[in-house]
Structure 1
């Protein structure tokens, strides 16, 4: 172990509420030099079955203070050493003893405290910890949730997220275009369908009733054309197909329809979480033009990702630290994806907090894309606003 970092003095934890009014856990890490930092953990409603286990947040808080804190108190650690201790304390591949949410609260809290102790922004801490080289001036394409369906909304849409991929000249310009488009879409929905069409889903996107699976993109396309905003914008879809009962062949036909009609450049979880071969068939046919991304398929788990690589299932991957449980494991997943030439898309969760560390993570690892919901609701705008701050600070 190295003495280059201050010692851990104590850990504290408490349950807090997330954006759905459900309990989650927040951990506070205090270092011996007086630096203190906290981190809270999001939750997903549409979860892959092989994600790290989530335990009751009240129990998680108790475990942090009663089991993890005594094991870490007085130690001087780097991120990898801390996370190794957390993994040994749990001792299971699924994190079922301590919970992936428990581990991530401590791992991420420590990362923030270490960054503050080193007097560097959190995004730079992630980048240097992972030893990732990112081209100067690089920033992620924004994957903006505009219309919600599936488990994230109470409407009749089966597909979970109708997205736009926004890439303008600068990160600030991308954020501005996201906000402009979101507000223009809301106005259009209210004017043409009434106020209920602008009710929100879990991730801040709108949740109108639609006549079929194509209509959300047709609505978005109409708004884009009316304002002349097509440049630098493409469409994306998170099907979350594990939650849909149609056969893979039926789903395949739907995607062919969408690709033929719209500028669809991103498809996430187009088939169920064990359908590696169907993913591969779709990637072989359209993968030169479309990011075929695994989420439930790959769950930020290097072993699952390796199988997807062997079978040629994807050319892009979702990275969600809470799927795997520690910062170190999430960074390892990013590095594996880079080794295989995949696009890296860092993502929030549907049940979020106002913790914006995921924005630092996305920027720090040089993600190709960042899924951050709609530019609405405090837990989502926290990520947008953090990106704006990062864009300013990184110019120095």
Structure 2
């Protein structure tokens, strides 16, 4: 195990497509599970490949366990990688697949057998050691790939969307197994995904990427509750954070955000925005349908009701702007009804509409 430090990594591909990564810096503590999260094309896989040594950065430094490995060959970095595809050898049985990396390194046969048995038991593969991959399920084949990665006693484990080829139920169960496994091993891990559920459930920390940059890093709950930008709030969450645009107006008891004839009180720290536009960000689950007369509230026109089993998702409109609301299962209302939504002040996040950045309110 080892600490990983990335300093100002730059990678540019020829052809005028711009930078894949733009001076990316990140520190991953010894034993930490770090998730790189972002949409397709944001640079997260390129960053992972540079860490692995499969891509050479144009500038910057990669330090693993105190060693500068920026230009070292992959085999000299002492790391393991699990790919999106299962990447198992179809002509080798499970035991041979798991022990392949050890044989390449010249590990004695007795030690290989011991480590293969250990990894197989850890990943519930013992009954399948004598089978070929064609006779395994997708989840079992991905377990084989993970087992092959962990037997080498690597300092760093890299995972590039390892669950994306599994169906939804298998992905959920394997996600829990993977989290338990990495915790038991205590190995420093960098995990790439575009799936926010994986990011929130697996990582000690999340690094959210956009267009080659890391735009926010933090614990899952912190990133979810306090998105540093509208992009982060709009990317995390299912459905994502609601955003409403209004104008700051003075009032007798402090500044308020005018939303087409309705208004909400603003923190005093935003009084200087008098006459300017502001963006309110609020999570769908933070809104509550209440009886008229509560405060602070917004009137919303109900457009769509979607029963989801454990909850109900409402699509509403507030002053012509779409607002999603998570409410209890069995909620009774019809499209065309007018609802009253309570807006808890503690759940409101305020953003500059120009830069999309979170504004301090103190």
Would you tell me which structure has more helix in proportion to its own residues? 1
Q: Which has the higher contact order (CA 8 A, sep 6+)?
A: 1
**TM-score, normalised with respect to structure 1:** 0.27
* Rg larger in structure: 2
**TM-score, normalised with respect to structure 2:** 0.29
Would you tell me which structure has more strand in proportion to its own residues? 2
